[in-house]
Every structure is written in C-alpha cells, then in structure tokens.
C-alpha cells in the first residue's frame, strides 16, 4: 500500500487525476472504475484540465461506476451516469458508447445487478485496470457497508437517509436503492486508487491502513490488495502519522 499525504484537498485531487492519466497513457483502452460523491469533484475537474492541456485522452477508455441510483434517469445530475456525463462526456473525448454503468431505470433491478456482474466478469482481463474509491466515515467502500458478511457480486443496496433526502430535494424524485458493485469486483481491479480528505475521515483512514482486516471496516480489505495507492490530505491522515 502506497500512501501519499498532501497539504490540501486540491493537491490531493490533482495527484488523483494524474494517477488516472498515467493509467490511460500507459494503456489507452484502460477500463477504469470511478466513484461519485463530494470527494472526487475536484479530481474530475483536474481530469478535464489535463484533457484540455492534451495530457490525457479518453477516446479509447472504458469508464464504469461503483453504483447507479435506481429510479433516476440518466439526465439527472444526481445519477452516477449524470456525473460522468457532466464532467467527462461533455468536456472530453470520452464516447458514451464506452460508459459502462447499470441502468437505473431498468425493469428488474435484480436482473440488472446480475447483468452488471457479468459485464465486469467479461472484461478482457476479467477485471478493471483501475478502480477509484472514496472512503465512508464508517469505513465503507462503494455501497459496501460494515457487516458481518459482505456481498461479493453486484447487488442492491439501500441508500442512506441523507442521500435519499438530498436527491429528493435536488431532483424531486423519491429513490431508495442503488445497484452496487460488490467487493469481489472492487478487489479484483489491478490497481485501487483510494482518495480521502477531511478530519472526519481520519478515524476511518487509520482503521483502513493500520487496523485489523475485517468486514466491519470494508476499507481494511485494501490491506490484502497487492497494488493500492492511497491519497490523503493532512487532515485525513492526522491519525496515521
């Protein structure tokens, strides 16, 4: 596990964008899994800047996401597809044909989860080249929250009450669930890129890198992966120095 600590969130985000660019420049048709939420916002902005400066291309890249909200059309900015659309499809040469995300408006969400599992298992190398992860305050990765047992494959997870209310306020749509990537698909990625910032993430960071490996802290499973890059700002790293 390689841990890099930066003075600021902006510096951390720039390095995250550069890591993705390095991956794409080393393999133009990389399959890269991204994450949504607040943490990667600046990273996305920096990716757009790198593209505009001709330092990276998304022309042959394949992009997936850790999840998709059930019941949100692709046109909604709160959907995971909407995040990719807002930052990459509208601002880079990424093709919509190369975006691999579950359909939140599908007829059967359980069938869609199985379909996403098969899609990821059928990748050329049977796994993603890189998966970008955010870190939950409780140590969750993706939608895989602390539990006695974690689900290996893509599955249905309930959104947090905070997320449900936020989407309702923003989109005026009531949602409950997501189609989420399982821990097997995450851990099979060739490279895991974890980004975390803020003092409120410090305890989770410490448990992730120094604590016991346990499903009660899903991020601690990253200790078992052979190629993990962890990017932190000083606040998030305050308990591991």
Q: Is the pLDDT of residue 241 over 90?
A: no
The candidate with the shortest Cα–Cα distance to 104, out of 45, 38, 183, 173, is: 173
> What share of residues in the chain are helix, strand, coil (percent, to 5)?
40, 20, 40
Asked if 65 contacts 154 with a C-beta cutoff of 8 angstroms, the reply is no
pLDDT at 148: 95
At 62-74, the pLDDT tens digits run 999 999 999 999 9
Q: How much is the pTM? A: 0.96
pLDDT value of residue 136: 94
Instruction: Please write the tens of the pLDDT for every residue from 74-112.
Output: 989 899 999 999 999 999 999 999 999 999 999 999 999
Packing angle of the helix pair 9-26, 41-52 (nearest 10 deg): 50
Contact of 21 with 50, CB cutoff 8 Å: yes
Q: What is the pLDDT of residue 62?
A: 97
Half-sphere exposure at residue 17, Cβ-oriented, CA atoms within 13 angstroms: 26
Mean pLDDT of 24-28: 97
- What pLDDT, in 10s, does the model give residues 104-150? 999 999 999 999 999 999 999 999 999 999 999 999 999 999 999 99
Mean pLDDT of the chain: 96
Q: How many C-beta atoms lie closer than 10 Å to residue 161's C-beta?
A: 8
Query: What pLDDT, on the 0 to 100 scale, is given for residue 180?
Result: 96
pLDDT exceeds cutoff 80 at 153: yes
The residue among 208 and 162 whose pLDDT is bigger is 208
CATH classification code of 2-233: 3.40.50.1360
């Amino acid at each position: 596990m390689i841990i890099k600590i930066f003075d600021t969130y902006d510096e951390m985000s720039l390095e995250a964008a550069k890591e993705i660019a390095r991956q794409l420049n080393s393999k133009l048709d990389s399959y890269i899994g991204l994450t949504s939420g607040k943490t990667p916002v600046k990273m996305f902005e920096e990716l757009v800047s790198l593209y505009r400066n001709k330092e990276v291309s998304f022309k042959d890249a394949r992009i997936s996401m850790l999840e998709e909200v059930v019941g949100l059309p692709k046109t909604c900015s709160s959907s995971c597809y909407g995040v990719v659309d807002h930052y990459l499809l509208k601002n880079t040469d990424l093709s919509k044909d190369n975006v691999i995300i579950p359909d939140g408006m599908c007829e059967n969400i359980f069938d869609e989860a199985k379909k996403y599992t098969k899609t990821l298992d059928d990748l050329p190398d049977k796994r993603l080249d890189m998966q970008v992860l955010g870190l939950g305050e409780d140590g969750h990765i993706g939608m895989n929250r602390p539990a006695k047992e974690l689900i290996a494959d893509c599955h249905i997870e309930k959104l947090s009450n905070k997320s449900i209310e936020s989407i309702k306020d923003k989109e005026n749509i009531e949602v409950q669930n997501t189609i989420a990537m399982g821990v097997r698909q995450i851990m099979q990625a060739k490279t895991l890129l974890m980004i975390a910032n803020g003092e409120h993430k410090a305890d989770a960071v410490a448990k992730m890198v120094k604590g016991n490996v346990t499903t009660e802290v899903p991020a601690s499973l990253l200790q078992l992966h052979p190629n993990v890059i962890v990017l932190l700002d000083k606040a998030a790293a305050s308990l591991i120095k």
